[in-house]
C-alpha cells in the first residue's frame, strides 16, 4: 500500500473541502482498504468520515419518509424497524456480520465493482483506462458478469441495498464544494466508460450526507420484498438480487416497482416487469410472467447464461413474497 496522509474532518462540508486532487474518501473502509492494498487506488490523502457526528449515522422516520444517515452501518439498518422490510432483508444478508458492523450505507452504494479483472492490476480493464474489457473475450471468467448493458464493460453492480432503495424512491442528499443538492436515486448511476472507475455521477468532492426514502409500509397499502440468489451464504456477493414494491386495490396491482441488482454495471429498474404487473389481478402466473418480462433484452455472455434463469426466479419469488405480506 502506498503511504498517505489521513485527514479526519468532522462535517461533510469539511470532508468535501478536503477532497479533490486525487484524495480518496473513506467511510467504513471495507472497499477502500481493499483497493488501497490491491493498489487499484494510490492516493496521497485519505479523507476519513470516522469523526462525523452521530446525526450522520442516525435512522429516523418522519411521516411517510425515512431518513438514513450515510454513515449508518449495515448492521443498524438491518436492525431498524422503520426502514422498509425489503431494505432490511437486503441488508441483513449482505456480506457477513463483521463487515455489516463496519460498512456504511454511503460506502455500500459507492463501492467499486468486484470484477476480478478490475481488482487485479496485471489485467487490462476499460474502467482503469485500458482500451478494452477482457471479460468480453472468449474464455474469460464471466460467471459473475452482467447480463444487461454489458458492453463496453460487463461488470455487475455489487450493492445489495441499491434495488430496495430504488423501489422506495430514495433521494440522495449530497454535500459538494458548491453547497448541498438532492439526487434522485435513478440519477445516481453512470454507465461505465473508459477510465471511469466510479459507477456514480458524483464528483470526486461530493459526500453523501443522508438518504431519504419512502417508508413503503403496509398502512399505506405497500407490499415489499427483497430476494437474492447467491452461491455462498456469507462473505460473498449475490449473483442476482431483486427488490419489489407493489400497491394493490381490489386484488389488482395498481402500482409496481421492480429493481434488479448484480445483473448490469449499475442497479437496474425493470420497466418490462412492472408493465407485466400493473392492472393485473395478482397470482403466481402473473409473477412468473413478470419474471420472464424482466429478462427481455438480456445479452448474456457464453459464461453466464445461467443468470437469465436466476433473474426470472428471483423476480417471481420476490413478487410472491411481497404479495403474501398483505
Ligand atoms: C467478503 C465480502 C463480501 C461482501 N458481500 C457483500 C454483499 O453481499 N452485498 C453488498 O452489498 N456488499 C457486499 N460487500 C461489500 C461491502 O458491503 C462494501 O464494501 C461496504 O458496504 C462499503 O461500505 P464502507 O462504509 O466500508 O465504504 P468504504 O470502503 O469506506 O467506501 C467505499 C466507496 O464509497 C465511497 N464513499 C463512502 N462513503 C461515502 C459517502 N458518504 N459519500 C460519497 N462516497 C462515499 C468511498 O469513497 C469509496 O469509493 C462485501 C464485502 C466483502 C469484503
Ligand atoms: S468488466 Fe468492466 S470492470 Fe471488469 S475488466 Fe471489463 S471493463 Fe474492467
H-only helix segments in 126-177: 162-167
- Residue 200 is predicted with a pLDDT of 98
The list of the chain residues with pLDDT below 70 reads none
| CB of 207 shorter than 6 A to ligand 1 | yes
CA distances from 152 to 7, 53, 117, 191 (A): 36, 41, 14, 10
Q: What ligand is nearest to the CA atom of residue 232? A: 1
**pLDDT at position 326:** 78
Q: Which domains does the chain have, with CATH numbers?
A: 54-111+156-214 (3.30.465.10), 222-323 (3.30.390.50)
Q: What is the pLDDT of residues 260-282, one digit of tens each?
A: 999 999 999 999 999 999 999 99
Minimum CA distance residue for ligand 2 atom 8: 125
Ligand 2 centre to CA of 31 (Å) is: 17
Which ligand sits closest to the CA of 202? 1
pLDDT at 84: 98
pLDDT at 1: 87
Per-residue pLDDT at 295? 98
Query: Do 311 and 243 contact (CB within 8 A), yes or no?
Result: no
Return the pLDDT at 140: 97
Is the CB of residue 232 below 6 angstroms from any atom belonging to ligand 1? no
Alpha carbons 301 and 305: distance in angstroms, whole number? 6
Q: For residue 20, what pLDDT is reported?
A: 87
pLDDT in tens, 180-206: 999 999 999 999 999 999 999 999 999
Q: Whose CA is nearest to atom 6 of ligand 2?
A: 133
Give the pLDDT confidence score for residue 188 in this predicted structure: 98
State in Å: Cα 220 to ligand 1 middle: 32
Amino acid at each position: 500500500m502506498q503511504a498517505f496522509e489521513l485527514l479526519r474532518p468532522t462535517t461533510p462540508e469539511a470532508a468535501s473541502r478536503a477532497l479533490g486532487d486525487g484524495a480518496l474518501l473513506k467511510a467504513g473502509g471495507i472497499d477502500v482498504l481493499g483497493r488501497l492494498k490491491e493498489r487499484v487506488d494510490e492516493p496521497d490523502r485519505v479523507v476519513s468520515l470516522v469523526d462525523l457526528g452521530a446525526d450522520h449515522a442516525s435512522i429516523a422516520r418522519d411521516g411517510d419518509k425515512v431518513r438514513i444517515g450515510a454513515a449508518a452501518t449495515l448492521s443498524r439498518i438491518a436492525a431498524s424497524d422503520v426502514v422498509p422490510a425489503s431494505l432490511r432483508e437486503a441488508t441483513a444478508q449482505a456480506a457477513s456480520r463483521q463487515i455489516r458492523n463496519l460498512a456504511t450505507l454511503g460506502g455500500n452504494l459507492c463501492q467499486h465493482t468486484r470484477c476480478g479483472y478490475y481488482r487485479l492490476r496485471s489485467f487490462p480493464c476499460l474502467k482503469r483506462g485500458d482500451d478494452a474489457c477482457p471479460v468480453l473475450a472468449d474464455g474469460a471468467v464471466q460467471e459473475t458478469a452482467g447480463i444487461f448493458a454489458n458492453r463496453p464493460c460487463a461488470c455487475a453492480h455489487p450493492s445489495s441495498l441499491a434495488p430496495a432503495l430504488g423501489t422506495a424512491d430514495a433521494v440522495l442528499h449530497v454535500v459538494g464544494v458548491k453547497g448541498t443538492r438532492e439526487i434522485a436515486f435513478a440519477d445516481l448511476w453512470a454507465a461505465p466508460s473508459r477510465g471511469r472507475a466510479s459507477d456514480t455521477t458524483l464528483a470526486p468532492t461530493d459526500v453523501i450526507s443522508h438518504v431519504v426514502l419512502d417508508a413503503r409500509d403496509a398502512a399505506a397499502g405497500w407490499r415489499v420484498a427483497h430476494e437474492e440468489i447467491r452461491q455462498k451464504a456469507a462473505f460473498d456477493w449475490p449473483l442476482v438480487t431483486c427488490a419489489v414494491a407493489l400497491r394493490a386495490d381490489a386484488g389488482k396491482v395498481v402500482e409496481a416497482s421492480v429493481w434488479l441488482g448484480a445483473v448490469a454495471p449499475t442497479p437496474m429498474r425493470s420497466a418490462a416487469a412492472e408493465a407485466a404487473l400493473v392492472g393485473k389481478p395478482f397470482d403466481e402466473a402473473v409473477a412468473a410472467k413478470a419474471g420472464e418480462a424482466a429478462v427481455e433484452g438480456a445479452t448474456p455472455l457464453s459464461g453466464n447464461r445461467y443468470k437469465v434463469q436466476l433473474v426470472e426466479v428471483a423476480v417471481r419469488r420476490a413478487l410472491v413474497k411481497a404479495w403474501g405480506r398483505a
